[in-house]
Structure 1
């Protein structure tokens, strides 16, 4: 019997987007998942995906705020409207990230 063991990977913090991407790879891109797992690069790949998603979320949120006129002035004058607009912007940005990075 061969003694098969997986290479040790450094422990990296994995957030929400990394875990969603791991689940997607495991269930829909099985060969890619197994290749990353057996080569010892899965955690690094997931960590990089998480960092990219967070960076992209920040950039998209700023861009959408600029485009839709959501400012600090609006936050002071109409806080409930600002919260609603920010929730909408965040949802739009997350939807883009999920389709571009996580489920791809």
Structure 2
């Protein structure tokens, strides 16, 4: 019994494991791009709630790029929202110089609101 055989009908190599010939399958190589916090959150969401999409992206080799793109979009959206909300609330460097605790309190509130918006609109959608 040969360890490997080639099937000309489908173009696959098969390897003997026990009494069976199993196909030698490999996933395509993916580029390694950084997947940050937002990408990891979206990955967790895909695994739990969108299993079909997760499997499709994983098998096609596009999962890493997809998550890196989501992460970049989420970071840009978060930064933009924090800036816009800070301007709207009137949180300036002058407040930071006068009363640091008030500034930290307001900025934490703004960051929480921005995180909620990004999570609802991009990560868990």
TM-score calculated relative to the size of structure 2: 0.81
Aligned equivalents of 2:41, 2:114: Cα separation in 1: 16
Pick from 86, 94, 99 the counterpart of residue 65 of structure 1.
86
The Cα of 1:4 is off from its aligned counterpart by: 2.1
Match of 2:13 in 1: none
Whether 2:67 is the aligned partner of 1:46: answer yes
Pick from 52, 76, 84 the counterpart of residue 31 of structure 1.
52
Pick from 10, 29, 32 the counterpart of residue 11 of structure 1.
32
Aligned equivalents of 2:116, 2:24: Cα separation in 1: 43
The Cα of 1:40 is off from its aligned counterpart by: 0.7
Greater helix share, structure number: 1
Aligned equivalents of 2:74, 2:110: Cα separation in 1: 15
Q: CA RMSD in A?
A: 0.8
Aligned equivalents of 1:51, 1:13: Cα separation in 2: 9
- Unpaired runs of 5+ residues, structure 1, are none
Aligned equivalents of 1:22, 1:5: Cα separation in 2: 22
Larger radius of gyration: 2
